[in-house]
Chains A and B, each alone.
Chain A
Amino acid sequence: MTRIMQLFLSGLMVVLLGACSGMPLRGTGDLGLVVERASGHVTLVNTSSREAYARIGGLGDLSHASVVYSRDARYAFIFGRDGGLTKVDLLEARIVKRIMQSGNAIGGSISQDGRIVVAQNYTPGGIKAFDAETLELLSEVPAEYAPGVFSKVVGLADVPGNKFAYALFDGGEIWVSDFSDPKRPVTKRYLAGMQPYDGLVTPDGRHYLAGLFGEDGIALLDLWQPEQGSRKILEKYGRGEEKLPVFKMPHLRGWSVAAGRAWLPAIGRHEVLIADAATWKETGRVAVKGQPVFVMASPDGRQIWVNFAFPDNGWVQVIDTLTGKVVQSLQPGKAVLHMEFTPRGEAVWLSARDDNRVVIYDTKAFRPLGSFGVEAPSGIFFTSRAARIGF
């Protein structure tokens, strides 16, 4: 057989094998999905071509839905408001498995080793752990903070050691559940403060922060030294002044830490608070357009993008972390609900709910790079989250 013939035949075999599996081989590093909150759909997207490539329906009530990824970044676990938990294959663009795990849920997380998916629930208040492969229920931890009294759970995040940290809105506590034995979780409790509304884990997995709604301050738990208990940082940041009304709760996640500092939404003040991420002392604050909802650092930590609660949700502001000043005030669309940076941060995708559009911005030139139509988009989730703790 000639050399050319050999090459031809092996090429043919590759093509035929590809045809057998029904799709070309590809990775998932530049994929993600956009939640369509009102229609129970997700739109699958490609951040290289900046396009949607598939749409999947039948996911129930997706208002406030959130998504985590398997560690191979192939499967998305979508937590719906109605308690639905759906596992979606990004490559085959199909639902692999779907269960109803509670009556009213508010997101979830995936363990450090990728084997356990945990949902956090409002009703009944608590968390539930599922096998990431099969979605079979492994165990649950009811948020019963006093005999017969259950709390809504917020701020669930995975932390090192196959543990999950979360906060009890009604109970005012931070709980850390250890799932080393997935069927027998062991939970430790720490006092947090009044009405924790969300939580985050720093990118190194060391600190858990719970933002407080009922008082000025943030509860901080050092997961390396949990026996010291939680303490308050940024206490009394409101200086006793009357709070402005909050028309939407802010959201916290590990993207808040950048350039050695934590950038956090104030509650009832049109400010972003800055704390030194080593001493946790306040180092400054930035006046912004409205009540911040997402205060999100670019992957390199140079920029902080901030969106706002109603009625300022048509605005997005960009803070330069070097100067601590607002350098851009943008109007990407109507009702900007969420933002997500591409893995290395050259672009940010924004969902403009009331424009039924996802808009993509260049983070250097602050100009739109493109957009596409999506029905009432809310959360945007890229697979780069798969490799991050606390997401």
Chain B
Amino acid sequence: MSNSRLLSALTAVLLGCPAMPALAELPVARQKELVHLVRQDCGSCHGMTLRGGLGPALLPATLADKPAEGLVATIIGGRPGTPMPPWHRFLAEGEAQWIVDQLMAGFPE
């Protein structure tokens, strides 16, 4: 676990609110925007249901054996040699992390 993840996990524990999702510092309105972005715009290659298309599936089962840090790096920096573009203009690293967490847990509708 990276330091930042450890820190956010620790923060969550210290805040001690069980109903609060991980990385709750992301405002709900922004979370909604990110869900829309992933489903609609990432969805143009990965499929709106994230079952894959020109890009690979982004379902919990397909991501299970992939390290989260690598997935975050792919979102932020893109993947040269493939159509995956870098999203750093539109996403902060913490937001990419939030997206990866959600993808690995089962992405919200």
With A245-B78, A247-B41, A310-B41 as given contacts, are A81 and B48 in contact (CB-CB < 8 Å)? yes
Structural contact, A247 and B85, CB atoms closer than 8 A = yes
Q: Quick one: CB contact mask for B39-52 with A, threshold 8 Å, 1 for yes?
A: 01101110111011
Structural contact, B83 and A335, CB atoms closer than 8 A = no
Q: Quick one: CB contact mask for A297-329 with B, threshold 8 Å, 1 for yes?
A: 000000000000011000000000000000000
Looking at B47, B78, B83, the one whose CB has the most chain A CB atoms below 10 A away is: B83
With A106-B53, A169-B54 as given contacts, are A249 and B44 in contact (CB-CB < 8 Å)? yes
Structural contact, A81 and B90, CB atoms closer than 8 A = no
Within 159-175 of A, Cβ neighbours of B (below 8 Å) are at 169
Contacts of A249 in B (CB 8 A): 44-45, 54, 83
- Minimum CB–CB distance for A291 against chain B, Å: 10
Contacts of B52 in A (CB 8 A): 104, 122-123
Give the docked Cα–Cα distance between A214 and B83 (Å): 8
Contacts of B48 in A (CB 8 A): 37-38, 61, 63, 81
Q: Quick one: CB contact mask for A112-124 with B, threshold 8 Å, 1 for yes?
A: 0000000000110
Main secondary structure of the interface of A (DSSP, over half): loop
In the complex, which of the residues A63, A123, A154 contacts B43, with contact meaning CB atoms closer than 8 Å?
A63
Within 62-116 of A, Cβ neighbours of B (below 8 Å) are at 63-64, 81-82, 104, 106
The reply on B60 being an interface residue by CB < 8 A is: no
Structural contact, A64 and B53, CB atoms closer than 8 A = yes
Contacts of A61 in B (CB 8 A): 47-49, 51
Contacts of B81 in A (CB 8 A): 214
In the complex, which of the residues A123, A246, A311, A353 contacts B83, with contact meaning CB atoms closer than 8 Å?
A246
Main secondary structure of the interface of B (DSSP, over half): loop
Give the docked Cα–Cα distance between A61 and B52 (Å): 12
The reply on A248 being an interface residue by CB < 8 A is: yes
The reply on A152 being an interface residue by CB < 8 A is: yes
Give the docked Cα–Cα distance between A81 and B44 (Å): 11
Size of the chain B interface, CB-CB below 8 angstroms: 19
Structural contact, A335 and B54, CB atoms closer than 8 A = no
Structural contact, A63 and B47, CB atoms closer than 8 A = yes
Give the docked Cα–Cα distance between A154 and B45 (Å): 13
Structural contact, B53 and A81, CB atoms closer than 8 A = yes
User: In chain B, what residue has the closest Cβ to A245?
Assistant: B85
In the complex, which of the residues B40, B53, B90 contacts A311, with contact meaning CB atoms closer than 8 Å?
B90
Give the docked Cα–Cα distance between A229 and B53 (Å): 29
Give the docked Cα–Cα distance between A123 and B48 (Å): 16
Q: Quick one: CB contact mask for B88-103 with A, threshold 8 Å, 1 for yes?
A: 0110000000000000
Contacts of B85 in A (CB 8 A): 245-247
Within 189-221 of A, Cβ neighbours of B (below 8 Å) are at 195, 197, 213-214
User: In chain B, what residue has the closest Cβ to A335?
Assistant: B40
Give the docked Cα–Cα distance between A240 and B23 (Å): 42
- Minimum CB–CB distance for A372 against chain B, Å: 21
Give the docked Cα–Cα distance between A169 and B52 (Å): 15
Structural contact, B47 and A104, CB atoms closer than 8 A = yes
Contacts of A106 in B (CB 8 A): 53-54
User: In chain A, what residue has the closest Cβ to B44?
Assistant: A248
User: In chain A, what residue has the closest Cβ to B85?
Assistant: A245
Structural contact, B53 and A104, CB atoms closer than 8 A = yes
Contacts of A310 in B (CB 8 A): 41
- Minimum CB–CB distance for B46 against chain A, Å: 10
User: In chain B, what residue has the closest Cβ to A122?
Assistant: B53
Structural contact, B86 and A245, CB atoms closer than 8 A = yes
The 5 closest A-B pairs by CB, nearest first: A245-B85, A63-B48, A310-B41, A248-B44, A61-B49
Can you spell out 21 A-B residue pairs with CB atoms less than 8 angstroms apart?
A38-B48, A63-B43, A64-B44, A64-B53, A81-B47, A81-B48, A81-B53, A104-B53, A106-B54, A122-B54, A152-B54, A169-B54, A197-B83, A213-B83, A246-B83, A247-B41, A248-B44, A248-B45, A310-B41, A335-B40, A353-B40
5 new A-B contacts, CB < 8 A, other than A122-B52, A123-B52, A248-B44, are A38-B48, A82-B49, A104-B47, A214-B81, A247-B41
